[in-house]
Structure 1
Amino acid sequence: MKNYILLFLIIVNVFSFDSYAQQSRINAADKKYATYAYIDAIKTYEKVANKGYKSEDMFKKLGNSYYFNSNFEGASKWYGELFAMNTSVEPEYYYRYAQSLKSTGEIDKANKLLGEFNAKNKTDNRGKLYEENVNYLDQIKANSGRYDIENAGINSKYSDYGTFVHDNKIYFTSARDTGNFSQRKHKWTGEYFTNLYIVDVDSSKVKKFKTDLNTKFHEASPAFTKDGKTVYFTRNNYVDGKKGKDEEKTTLIKIYKATLENGKWTNITAVSFASDNYSTAHPALSPDEKTLYFASDMPGTLGQSDLYQVSINSDGSYGTPVNMGKTINTEGKETFPFVTDENEIYFASDGRPGLGGLDVFAGKIEKDGSISDIQNLGADINSPKDDFAYSIDPVSRKGYFSSNKDGGQGSDDIYKFIENKALRCVQELSGTITDSETAVILPGAKVSLYDNQTVLNTTIADVNGLYKFPVDCGKTYNVRAEKEEYETKEVSITIGKLSGKTSLPIALTKNTCRVTIGDDLGTCFGIKMIYFDLDKSNIRTEAAIDLEKILVVLNENPGMKLDIRSHTDSRATFKYNEALSDRRAKSTIEWLVKNGVAAKRLTGKGYGETQLVNKCADDVPCTEAEHQENRRSEFIITAL
């Protein structure tokens, strides 16, 4: 009996000692995890986990350590262990687990988790994007097969990524070992710190960029101005043996700027909007070099990192950084922007429906700066792993991107490509402006392209009377041609759904109309009546287009005055129609005044149903089209 008790005590003590040892290891791993030393943390956590120890917190940290290093197979394993515990976990882990499963090919299970993620967090834009694009794989498939891709031939067994082509040379980032025994490793990834490297286009002879831009710690993502005299790049804020934070913490990264003077890079300073409290990284210049795009987690960021833009003033100072908004940013990670002179922005994101990890997307930059029509580039560029740092020459359609997809030489590799087919279907809309009677070409005509009432583009017909516009396939546009001594003409056209060219010649009629006081300007210049919806007094889209024609005539004839007369159909009461028509006349006048016409040149009145143009009086059966004829405005000239 005593022996039994003694044996029991020994077992308990051994067990207690083992538990203490395991907890000690976990505490040590937690410290490494807290300082972003993920590779070291993984080694310790896995030793404990492989002995059968289970913990929700440990599985989260193990999964995260792999996830933040883009090792989605490892992340999937440990997130799987977390979910197997049947515990209630935060919605974010549903998303990370789903992303990890995509990378291991378990698409159906991943999509199920994304659905659950959206149900648990209705406000998260990533879940909304999935619900709105449940068939996202169909779009990815449709956008695939457009590239010829090959290894760039400049990769090492270490991380190589991010390219910038300037003066027939490729500048890129690499963690390759230079053989220096003092080369330092980064705790987060376990790889050597990165520096900038250079290689001639169509060459494989890589050289380290031997300038003061490189230090013994991280440099990455250079972006040069067109003259090659200024460069923006990313650097961490641990330089010359100094740290902005205590020794155990991972430092943040900043965008730096340098200028080339007498063949040497000088004035190497952080941009004014960088900070020791958040990161700024991966700079990209707009084609006119007046705007800098970048990624950051500064206050106001929606997710892990967002895309921002900041104006570059003529004196070299900067405006206030502006978050590019929810149309492009998500609660995930948006990074590595690249902007072309075709008003397109390419970027990497793990917050949008994709194949797993970071995928490359393209969006259109609208005139107001908003981003529209964001599309996944397809399975040529994107993979179940991280794909990022996409850049393209809009003329040659050649470019580069980076990826840690299977089949590469190192953790990240650089690939080069040729795009054989555009992502978006675009056509060329063109035509010749001629005289309708003589067929003589009319150079110098002003031609405008409209989408509804919005002017998209304006050009002047060349010496051959020719105009050209790039247009999207499948869309309907209005084209307006204007020339002195000719009547303005507007034509609607729907573009075909395949790439190619669409011809739209426009013949203008010489203006032979002699107006005088009392004439209706609309009739004289072939301007349609300004129609209104039933019971409405607001300006319709097509009405605004016609009012712009009236505006042109008034601007060309500054002495002209108009009396605007509004009419209704016979439906509703006499009193109601009189008030409605008066509101319509005032609405028309307000639109013209808002667009620059002096109010003293305009008068107006509503005539209700007193001047019908057809039989449609009270109690007379009429079609809607017949009633529409009576809902109109007239523009009577009262002075010239």
Structure 2
Amino acid sequence: MKPKKHILIYIILLINAALFAQYGKQKKADALFNKFSFVNASEVYETLLEKNFNADYAVRQLGDCYAYMRNPDSAAVYYKKAVEQNNVPKEYYYRYAQSLRGIKDYKESRVWLKKFKDAGGELNNEKFMKDADFITTIFNAKPQYFLKTVNFNSKYSDFGAFEYGDKLYFTSSRDEGVSTKHTYGWDGQPFLDVYVKDKNDSVNVINHKYKLKGKVNSVYHDGPITITNDGKTMYFSRNNFNKNTLNKDKKGISNLKIYKATLVDGSWTNIEDLPFNSDEYSTGHPALNSDNTKLYFASDMPGSIGGSDIYYVDINSDGSYGSPKNLGDIVNTKKNEVFPFVNSEGTLFFSSDGHQGLGLLDIFAAITDKNNNITGVLNLGVPVNSSKDDFSFFMNTDGTSGYFASNRDGGVGSDDIYAYNRLLPLKLEGTVTDAINNKPIANATVSIFDGGGNKMADLETDADGYYEINIDRNADYKLLTSHQKYEDQSRLITSKNIDKTAKRILADFSLNPLQDVVKLAELNTIYFGFEKYDIRKDAALELDKIVNMMTNIYPNMIIRIESHTDSRGTTAFNDWLSQKRAKATFDYLISKGIDPSRITKYEGFGERRLTNGCDGSVPCTEEEHQLNRRTEFIVIKMK
């Protein structure tokens, strides 16, 4: 029994809704991945893999997730699948080799390392290759970030860039005052103050007019800062100076303290000393988590593992603070950990000269498991880190951009602010429109194939005719766009030689509508046996009706033949089989006296136009698969 038309429409709507859901999941997974939330990202990539949506991409991302989570066993499983893909980026040979090293399969690791070299890979990170901590090795297999200069650095110390709303806050000693000696590269500089500018303002001369309004800035060191989500409270570092009094410890040193300020009529005032501060040790570099329930900071308070450790305190609902808690010896070392920052997904970043790095202070990310326990740290690698001090990392909520500071060679001053962008997967996107009226075509199918002809995904355009998917850089692709009321259109695209700053490739389609398109009644759809293309008796009866219609009722009718398969079998086989079915149908009609000129085209579409949800992801009966093994007839002209 054939399904009713309204049921078929309902099934199609469900399929389209499911495809749109996969787009959303891929976006979500990528956003989590970019924010170092690898546990949550892996769970979403797993669902994409189960749905076979852009599966090759999901496999590679899963390998990376498990590698960064310090799980070489699972990483090796997915990297093994990745290196079996056609046209896989050569970096995955290296990553697979390093994951094998992580599970102590040194023999096989050397095999894949050689394949990486033979494919043109360069081993620039010999230091990391010898590192037993394989996650850093894998992360640095290729640059993850690229930098751009900011135009407001001075010849003095500039650091602590922090965006809030449309403002950019930073700390600088550019306003000359009393010189002092201080750490992390700030030697012989004037005292530090907090400055603020419009983040989109291209002004390159930031002077005293840009100092933060209010009472945060003092005659001593002030900054860096962080601001609560509501924009009403600021936490900042300052020398132990409050109410016009400079306090010192027993050795005569004025330590750092964290203070709180409140925004009143556009001015930061009501300066408060926090209760866990002390004259006898430093607390500084405040950072808030995403819901403002924890305040992170650096301190050398008693009980610290090294010279300076990362701590946090709970911020209670009544505004009070809990006791300082040391983050432990996975984060903290016997040396110095400073400048914590927590992104919107709760990932902690910090600087350290105690973990293995490239130079002095390097920037690290703390990696967590599914229970949010810190399991390891990840060096962010070049170009974020250098042979000098790299610190005060900040990431925007998009997870792809932000700032850090460094005293590396080539800067303007002693410490400079650098803006970074993450090197992201390239987004392929476009719009499918009607060539006659330029209106968007909803529910068009955009099939994307890799350079080896393997289908990556079938994309459905939304109500605006829009589609998108992530693709690899330095690769070739084929796109095939189809809709039952329009002529198919295909094109080749390439992401080779695309600038690393590029975020997307546009591939728009303008489809020509079929003239007088009418699909013959459902009665005239003919069906085939499994993996067969011969004309069955029931199909011959239907074809004879079409012959009669074209001969005696519509002698000027012109048609097009479209044949299809079910989802079983390989893509290549189904394309071949559907073409055979189309040709068999064509030959039958011609054998019955139909002029070949009255059949504009006979074409096979493989499994790309299923009439139901039997795409291999759900169990289906033979009767349901049968509905997809069919030939349909499209009327191009009736009279």
Question: Smaller-chain TM-score range?
Answer: 0.3 to 0.5
Q: TM-score, normalised by structure 2?
A: 0.43
Greater relative contact order (CA < 8 Å, ≥ 6 in sequence): 2
- Which is greater in Rg? 1
Q: TM-score, normalised by structure 1?
A: 0.43
